[in-house]
Structure formats: structure tokens, C-alpha cells
């Protein structure tokens, strides 16, 4: 199965990182020198995604601007004559014409509802869902690993990126039950969104990467509200698991939850340390703080 399209739900309010997100979308928060949304776009592009679908909301227009050409900036950089490196960065990050779509989730009804808003743009083919507040630092990226794993599975298979979390954090995530295992992959045996403490079927959390079959849309259309009063993707996936296979993949790489303040700070350090041009200076600065 070829995965050509990815859906990025970007309508969330980002309340965990206020006041940064009062007037700015959380997807534009910067890790080192790039907004979160650019990292997940790059990850999807590396994985072979050809069409990038953003489910936005009010106050998110700047995400669309970010993926547009900035005419004044391009012209000014070109006129200065010595800004070739900056021009190259802008060209590198620019999607091809027609490779992006933007639709709006008009009310904050949950992740399941956000994904459903993309149904007509996705159409009748398998697709990826990528949550921009989670970054995975690895080459190949998390989505590329998932697509590689999915290529070895039967038609109509669904794949979830999963990661073990401490038992006392399982209530914050969607959690998978574990069936038959083959290396880093396993058959998912039940899924529950934000299980009450002490009731999780395992400690394997569903992270922000999914490969789904289009039949999920039919289920989402009538999906009742679940945990937190929201239409949950996990609940719709549980229904789809009655007729299709779901697999969990324990991916390679370090996951960063950038939608929380500690996760955001840690990601800046991790991505800074991964950069050859910044590593030594950053290490020297951090050493000073650690010695204080
Ligand atoms: C969403 C999903 C949840 C998943 C999590 C990963 O929850 O509903 O299953 O584990 O993303 O970040 P949210 O973080 O939107 O509450």
C-alpha cells in the first residue's frame, strides 16, 4: 500500500504552553530555529508523503503563511547578494505548488473530529496522521519507519507508533493492549483512550503517528463523544479493529512532547545538541548553568 497523504491536526488551543500560545499557534513554537510544523512536514516528506493536509482552526492562518512563498523576503534576500544560505533554507522548506491543503475544524470537538474534517481531501486511500506537538529525533524518521513496516503487512492494515511510558502516566494517553509479537511489531489487542489509573491494558502509549485505512471516516461520522467529552480517534480505531488489523510499532528514536513546557525545553536541548554547528557552544553554556 502506498501512503501519499498525511493529515496534520493543528486546530488545538495549546493551553499547556500558555501564554506562548495566546496569539500564536502552538505548531509555530520554535525548536532551535524551525517551527514544530516544519519538523513534522519534513518527517512526512522524507517518508514519501506527497500531499500535506492541515486541519486548522481560528488564529492558525500563520501556518498557511509559513508554507507559502514570502515574496518580499525572497526579493530582499536576492537583492542583498550575500544571503545565498538563507535563500537556500527557504527553498528547501517550501512545499511544491499544489502539495498542501488547508481545511478548518470549526469547533474543538476532539482529534477524531479533526481527522474526519479531512475526509474529502484524503478520499478513498490509506493515509497518515501526524500530531505536530510530538517530535521523534531519529533518522530515518518515525513515519518512514512506520511506512516501511506497513509495506510488509497485508492490505487494509493500520499501524500505530507506540512507546512505553511509566505506569503512572498511562492515564494521559491512548493505550494499546498487546497481542502476538514479531520483533518491534505486535498485533494490537484492544485500545483505550486515557484509561483510569490502574486500568491500562499495558504501558504502551499511542504516540502521535498513525497509518489508517479510509474506512475510519465512516466510523468517525457517527462516533460518540468519549474521554474528556471529545470525539476520540482511539474510540473509532477500536471500532475499526473489529474488521481490520491494527499493529503497534515500537519505533527507533527519542520522542519529545513539545506541547508541554518541560518537553519543549528538552526538545530544544536535544535538537540543539544534534546540530553540528551548535553543539559545542550549547554544551559550554549548559555546563555553566549546571555548575551554578
Ligand atoms: C492524543 C490521542 C492519544 C495519544 C496522544 C499522543 O491525545 O488522543 O491517544 O496517546 O494524542 O500525544 P491528546 O494529547 O490530544 O490528549
Tens digits of residue pLDDT in 152-164: 998 999 999 999 9
Single pTM value for the model:
0.95
* Domains delineated in the chain: 5-290 (3.90.550.10)
Residue bearing the CA closest to ligand 1, atom 11: 208
Phi, psi of 260 (to 5 degrees): -120, 155
Q: Is 206 in the pocket of ligand 1 (CB under 6 A)?
A: yes
- 40 CA to middle of ligand 1, Å? 16
The 10 Å Cβ neighbour count of residue 132 is 27
Give residue-wise pLDDT tens across range 239-290.
Answer: 999 999 999 999 999 999 999 999 999 999 999 999 999 999 999 999 999 9
- The pLDDT, as a whole number, for residue 194 is 95
Of the candidates 242, 244, 45, the one whose C-alpha atom is nearest the C-alpha of residue 128 is 45
Q: Is 202 in the pocket of ligand 1 (CB under 6 A)?
A: no
- 207 CA to middle of ligand 1, Å? 7
pLDDT confidence band for 136 (50 / 70 / 90): very high
How far is 234 from 246, CA to CA, in rounded Å? 12
Q: Is 131 in the pocket of ligand 1 (CB under 6 A)?
A: yes
pLDDT confidence band for 227 (50 / 70 / 90): very high
Residue % of the chain over a pLDDT of 90: 89
Residue bearing the CA closest to ligand 1, atom 2: 174
Give residue-wise pLDDT tens across range 149-205.
Answer: 999 998 999 999 999 999 999 999 999 999 999 999 999 999 999 999 999 999 999
Kindly state the average pLDDT of the residues 23-31: 95
Name the residue of 11, 15, 111 to mutate for ligand 1: max ligand atoms within 8 A of Cβ. Answer: 111
Q: If you average pLDDT over every residue of the chain, what do you get?
A: 95
> What contacts 201, CB < 8 A, 6 or more positions away?
175, 176, 177, 178, 189, 190, 192, 195
Q: Is 50 exposed, middle or buried (0-12, 13-18, 19+ CB in 10 A)?
A: middle
Is residue 1 pLDDT above 80, yes or no? no
Q: 3-state DSSP call for residue 6? A: strand
Kindly state the average pLDDT of the residues 116-126: 98
- The pLDDT, as a whole number, for residue 42 is 97
Amino acid at each position: 500500500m502506498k501512503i501519499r497523504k498525511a493529515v496534520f491536526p493543528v486546530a488545538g488551543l495549546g493551553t499547556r504552553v500558555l501564554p506562548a500560545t495566546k496569539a500564536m499557534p502552538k505548531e509555530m513554537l520554535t525548536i532551535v530555529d524551525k517551527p514544530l510544523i516544519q519538523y513534522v512536514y519534513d518527517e512526512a516528506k522524507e517518508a514519501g508523503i506527497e500531499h500535506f493536509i492541515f486541519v486548522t482552526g481560528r488564529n492558525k492562518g500563520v501556518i498557511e503563511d509559513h508554507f507559502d512563498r514570502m515574496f518580499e523576503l525572497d526579493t530582499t534576500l536576492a537583492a542583498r547578494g550575500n544571503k545565498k544560505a538563507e535563500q537556500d533554507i527557504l527553498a528547501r522548506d517550501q512545499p511544491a505548488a499544489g502539495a498542501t491543503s488547508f481545511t478548518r475544524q470549526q469547533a474543538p470537538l476532539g482529534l477524531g473530529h479533526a481527522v474526519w474534517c479531512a475526509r474529502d481531501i484524503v478520499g478513498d486511500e490509506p493515509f497518515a496522521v501526524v500530531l505536530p506537538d510530538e517530535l521523534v529525533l531519529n533518522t530515518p524518521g518515525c513515519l518512514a519507519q512506520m511506512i516501511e513496516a506497513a509495506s510488509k503487512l497485508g492490505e487494509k492494515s493500520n499501524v500505530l507508533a507506540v512507546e512505553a511510558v511509566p505506569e503512572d502516566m498511562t492515564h494521559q494517553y491512548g493505550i494499546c493492549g498487546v497481542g502476538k509479537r514479531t520483533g518491534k511489531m505486535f498485533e494490537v489487542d484492544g485500545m483505550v483512550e486515557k484509561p483510569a489509573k490502574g486500568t491500562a491494558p499495558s504501558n504502551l502509549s499511542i504516540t502521535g503517528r498513525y497509518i489508517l485505512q479510509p474506512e475510519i471516516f465512516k466510523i468517525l461520522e457517527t462516533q460518540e463523544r468519549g474521554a474528556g467529552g471529545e470525539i476520540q480517534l482511539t474510540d473509532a480505531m477500536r471500532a475499526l479493529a473489529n474488521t481490520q488489523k491494527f499493529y503497534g510499532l515500537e519505533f527507533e528514536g527519542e520522542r519529545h512532547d513539545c506541547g508541554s513546557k518541560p518537553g519543549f525545553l528538552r526538545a530544544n536541548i536535544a535538537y540543539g545538541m544534534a546540530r553540528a554547528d551548535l553543539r559545542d557552544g550549547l554544551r559550554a553554556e549548559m555546563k555553566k548553568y549546571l555548575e551554578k
